[in-house]
Amino acid sequence: MPILGPNQYGKAENRVVRITRDGATHHIKDLNVSVSLSGDMDEVHLSGSNANVLPTDTTKNTVYAFAKEYGIDSAEQFGIHLARHFVTSQPAIHRARIRVEQYAWDRIEHGGEGAHSFVRKGQETRLAQITYDGSSWEIVSGLKDLTVMNSTDSEFWGFVKDKYTTLPEAHDRILATEVSGRWRFNWTDDEQPAPDWEASYEQVKKHLLQAFAETYSLSLQQTLYQMGARIIDNREEIDEVRFSLPNKHHFLVDLAPFGLKNDTADGAVYFAADRPYGLIEATVLRDGREAKIPADLTNL
């Protein structure tokens, strides 16, 4: 009979976000936690007996419950706590390996109220497309992978409800997106002075971030329009802005089965879902100008 070699199991990539509130100043801990356990697991492989198997689903629940109950001081401390728990509470588990990725966030500087707006470190990829037909230029600049989050000041309610609607109305939710945007310059003619491309890029990015941070959002669509409008209003060199904004959903984890209350108050724990995601896309134009940026940004 072939021999079973080294083996391990667990739930990988548990995306856990914890928001603590210090008055109007919020703090984020954003982790990707992978649990891998090993021990007396011959039977489950050889005969299919699950008698020694703590479900991977339970390991996931433990990650979220520990985040709620004990908080997240550091990736190391959180991982130590989890690993110790699995090894000491389960006789069949002799080794636990916890891997943690931690995503860092900077605050978005803006003039509005509160401190609950963040931009993920690592930041964006800048884009440019230049087209010239021998007489006329079309310059479209942009960015992708600029991840931002508001940990409050976002609601979504009053929407259509049909027999398939289950989404509860939200009066305080996380709003997070990975901004993909393109903007078209009205400079087309070599005879005219060209914009300062570097300064323009920095200013567009600043305006879209500040609009994201300062908009009290009733929908991501409303936030998108505000971001575009802020650019059109402040940057005369730009006539058109298009955004493609995935709604990076964060769901409050149901911790009631473990006797833990988890609401949006201080210390809320969220499951950061990666898919499916809402995808909100629109163009914002200077009055009287035409939309030229393709609807599908990947074709740009």
Binding segment toward ligand URC, per CB under 6 A, in 103-111, 114-122, 191-199, 213-221: 213-221
* Measured distance CA(251)–CA(269) in Å, rounded: 8
Residue 117 binds to ligand URC (criterion: CB under 6 A):
no
Backbone CA torsion sign across 211, 212, 214, 217: positive
To ligand URC, the closest distance from the beta carbon of 219 in angstroms equals 4
Element (H, E) at 9: none
Is 249 marked active-site?
A: yes
Per CB under 6 A, the list member of 151, 247, 270, 285 interacting with ligand URC is 247
| 131 DSSP β-pair partners | 138
Choices 3-11, 101-109, 140-148, 217-225 (CB under 6 A): range interacting with ligand URC: 217-225
Q: Please tell me the distance from the alpha carbon of residue 268 to that of residue 32, in angstroms, as a whole number.
A: 16
Query: Are residues 282 and 248 in contact, defined by beta-carbon separation less than 8 angstroms?
Result: no
Q: Does residue 29 contact residue 267 with C-beta atoms inside 8 Å?
A: no
Chain center to CA of 181: 16
Among residues 24, 128, 167, 273, which is the contact residue for ligand URC, using CB under 6 A?
167
Query: For ligand URC, which is the closer residue by CB, 132 or 251?
Result: 251
The stretch among 1-9, 90-98, 214-222, 253-261 that binds ligand URC (CB under 6 A) is: 214-222
Q: For residue 203, which amino acid is it? A: Q
Residues that bind ligand URC (rule: CB under 6 A) add up to a total of: 7
> Nearest distance from residue 228's CB to ligand URC, in Å?
15
220 sits near ligand URC (criterion: CB under 6 A): yes
Note the Cα 53 to chain centre separation in Å. Answer: 33
Residue 250 Cβ, how far from ligand URC at the closest point, in Å? 12
DSSP helix/strand/coil, 60: helix
Instruction: Judge whether 163 counts as a catalytic residue.
Output: no
Catalytic pick among 20, 56, 264, 283: 56
Instruction: Output Rg (C-alpha) for the chain, integer angstroms.
Output: 24
Q: Which residues bind ligand URC (CB under 6 A)?
A: 156, 167, 219-221, 247, 278
Q: Which residues are catalytic?
A: 11, 56, 249
